């Protein structure tokens, strides 16, 4: 039997931090040995999160993956692996310190997702704290980079919107099947805004309301553009002009979930024909045939289908009247969009089966 791999969660009191703890409680080999959160330092996990109380009955945490009596610290102890759930900039500082100790890191912030420091500084409005690490950090989308992930020490976990949109469009972009002008209309639950309360996420403001935001440009836009452009180049289908993406996110009154509807015109062949729904579906099914968490389905997905799971459901179709491709994808923003994908990456990082600790089924209803 393999030895347990020691794990720390930096900023466990964030939504992604507690979601990591929930998922890691089912993991056969990852053992949470240290957790941090400056606002709750000195308290035990079960005092801050009573839902962890059951862990007291397995104090050796052989069944739960963690000890609920674990004291929350200000700084992480030495472990084999760290999940960093801090805001951007603060995350990079922590990542540098962890790497210097020899700890492998999955960073759930945006600090290492963009390969160009200048692009990062344009979108995040400050100087990158550790630009040298951008050369070695690996973008943590297993569906694209699993071989590179295996050899890495720092994984940049993708953003939730970026995951939904990129998975929705990768097959047709890589195949050069679309005109490089894409519209992405995405809707997210309130947990995507984080745990710190704001007026926009206040119940009385958000309930029975839908609103668009970041119309001048959301921070996940350069991430989406970076990854789709890279996929086009890797597929030998460089666009004749830069990929144009219009990305409009919306906030909707539910806790979890992202639904992304993506639109693009299909390229015509020499006879001015475009691909049919059957053609496109066959392409998607072949592209994702061996992916454990990406499912190409015959009907438009619901966000509730992915609730609590690491699954991404994708429904591609063609509007025959306009020759336009429509791809709908959905996932749980806290799981495949954050903590679940982080564990999927960590599994790969340590040479484990990607599905370890990740339930194949969603919560329903």
C-alpha–C-alpha distance, residues 179 and 192, integer Å = 31
Could you confirm whether 160 is annotated as catalytic?
Answer: yes
What does the DSSP 8-state code read for residue 71? B
* Whole-number Å distance between alpha carbons of 176 and 243: 12
Give the C-alpha separation, 243 to 120, whole Å: 19
Point out the catalytic residue in the list 52, 85, 142, 160: 160
DSSP string, 141-160: -HHHHHHHHHT-SEEEPPPH
Instruction: Please enumerate in sequence order all residues whose Cβ is within 8 A of that of 114, keeping only pairs 6 or more positions apart, or say none.
Output: 120, 123, 134, 222, 223, 226
Distances (CA, A) of 238 to 60, 181, 223: 54, 13, 18
Classify residue 6 by burial, with Cβ atoms within 10 Å: 0-12, 13-18, 19+. middle
Compute how many other C-beta atoms are within 10 angstroms of the C-beta atom of residue 359: 15
Tell me which residues are annotated as active site: 160
């Amino acid at each position: 039997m393999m030895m347990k791999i020691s794990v720390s969660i930096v900023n466990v009191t964030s939504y992604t931090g507690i979601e990591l703890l929930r998922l890691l409680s089912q993991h056969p080999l990852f053992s949470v040995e240290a957790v941090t959160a400056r606002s709750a330092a000195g308290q035990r996990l079960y005092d801050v999160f009573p839902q962890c109380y059951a862990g007291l009955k397995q104090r050796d945490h052989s069944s739960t993956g963690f000890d609920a009596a674990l004291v929350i610290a200000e700084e992480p102890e030495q472990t084999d692996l760290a999940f960093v759930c801090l805001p951007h900039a603060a995350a990079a500082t922590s990542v540098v310190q962890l790497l210097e100790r020899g700890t492998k890191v999955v960073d759930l912030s945006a600090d290492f997702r963009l390969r160009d420091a200048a692009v990062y500084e344009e979108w995040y409005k400050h100087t990158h704290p550790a630009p040298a690490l951008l050369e070695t950090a690996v973008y943590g989308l297993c569906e694209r980079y699993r071989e590179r992930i295996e050899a890495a020490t720092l994984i940049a976990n993708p953003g939730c919107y970026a995951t939904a949109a990129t998975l929705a469009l990768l097959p047709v972009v890589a195949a050069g099947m679309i005109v490089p002008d894409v519209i992405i209309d995405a809707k997210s639950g309130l947990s995507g805004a984080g745990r710190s309360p704001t007026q926009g996420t206040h119940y009385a403001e958000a309930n029975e309301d839908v609103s668009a935001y970041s119309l001048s440009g959301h921070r996940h836009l350069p991430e989406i553009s970076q990854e789709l452009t890279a996929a086009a180049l890797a597929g030998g289908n460089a666009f004749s002009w830069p990929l144009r993406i219009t990305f409009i996110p919306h906030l909707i009154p539910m806790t979890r979930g992202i639904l992304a509807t993506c639109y693009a015109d299909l390229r015509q062949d020499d006879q001015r024909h475009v691909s049919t729904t059957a053609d496109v579906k066959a392409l998607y099914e072949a592209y994702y045939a061996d992916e454990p968490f990406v499912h190409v389905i015959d009907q438009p997905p619901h966000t509730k289908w992915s609730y609590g799971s690491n699954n991404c459901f994708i429904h591609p179709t063609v509007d025959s009247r306009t020759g336009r491709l429509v791809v709908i994808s959905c996932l749980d923003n806290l799981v495949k969009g954050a903590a679940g994908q982080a564990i999927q990456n960590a599994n790969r990082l340590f040479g484990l089966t990607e599905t370890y600790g990740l339930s194949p089924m969603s919560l329903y209803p």
